[in-house]
Structure 1
Amino acid sequence: MNPISLICILTGVMLNAGAQLLLKAGVSAVGHFDFTRANIVPIGFKLAMQVPIIGGLACYVVSVGVWIIGLSRVDVSIAYPMLSLGYVVNAFAAWYLFGEALTMQRLIGIAIILVGVLVLARS
């Protein structure tokens, strides 16, 4: 994989991870809600007006464009597993930004993901 291809793939991964974090920030601002027939419209409107959610959706749109460019340069069997790097990014970012737990079991899982991506990238 050449440097441009790697940049496209990693940019897509980072945009996807950023989208998840922004969606979490937006839904956290709204708080816990029960999704019932009675509150579909008010909750939907409240969620739709959250700037982080709008930003997260925008990240998804841009990530699809970047991902398409990356897929034009890299085999999908190499590119798609790279998305698992988003799990790693999100785990550490969620710990830092939202105070989510990073247990030993999660850290071991992250290590396994990183080893898998490394093996795949070198193949």
Structure 2
Amino acid sequence: MSLLVFGLIFLTVTLSACAQLALKLGVAKPNMEAAIQSGIVEALIAALMSPLIWVGLIIYGLSVAMWLWVLSKVDLSVAYPFVGISFLITMAFGAYILNENVTPIRIFGTILIASGCLLVGKSA
């Protein structure tokens, strides 16, 4: 696997984690939480009005476009396990940006997943 392809895979999974962060921040807003409690229609309207949700969706769109290019260059069985790296990035975002409680067992499990992804990648 070339350094360019590996870099784009890493960028793609990083963008995916960034999209998750934006979506989480978007749904955590008080007006969004209230809309979710009111019902599906209200929640959809609030989501359509949320800049953070739009940012998350746009980042996902960019990530998907890049992922399509990656899939044109690498076997799916090689590329897809790298998605596990996004677990590490997302956990770091949760801990450092959202102040979520990240336990040692969660860290260990996430590292196991990411390690497996790296081993699969090295086998390519």
Using the size of structure 2 for normalisation, the TM-score is 0.90
CA distance in 1, matches of 2:119, 2:43: 44
Question: Is the contact made by 2:13 and 2:85 (CA closer than 8 Å) also made in structure 1?
Answer: yes
2:47 counterpart of 1:51 = no
Residues 22-37 of structure 1 correspond to what in structure 2 (within 5 A)? 22-29=22-29, 30-31=32-33, 33-34=36-37
Residues 14-25 of structure 1 correspond to what in structure 2 (within 5 A)? 14-25=14-25
CA distance in 1, matches of 2:63, 2:40: 28
Question: Is the contact made by 2:22 and 2:53 (CA closer than 8 Å) also made in structure 1?
Answer: yes
CA distance in 1, matches of 2:111, 2:17: 18
The amino acid across from 2:43 in the alignment is I
> What is the identity percentage for the equivalent residue pairs of Structure 1 and Structure 2?
32
The amino acid across from 1:14 in the alignment is T
1:42 counterpart residue number: 42
CA distance in 2, matches of 1:67, 1:58: 14
Shift of 1:20: 0.7
Shift of 1:57: 0.4
1:62 counterpart residue number: 62
Shift of 1:15: 1.2
Instruction: Figure out how many residues of one structure are paired with residues of the other and give that number.
Output: 120
The amino acid across from 1:28 in the alignment is A
Deviations 1:39-81, CA, capped at 9 Å, x for gaps: 3222211121111100000011111110001111111101001
Unaligned ranges ≥5, structure 2: none
Residues 53-92 of structure 1 correspond to what in structure 2 (within 5 A)? 53-92=53-92
Using the size of structure 1 for normalisation, the TM-score is 0.90
Unaligned ranges ≥5, structure 1: none
CA distance in 1, matches of 2:114, 2:41: 41
Question: Is the contact made by 2:82 and 2:118 (CA closer than 8 Å) also made in structure 1?
Answer: no
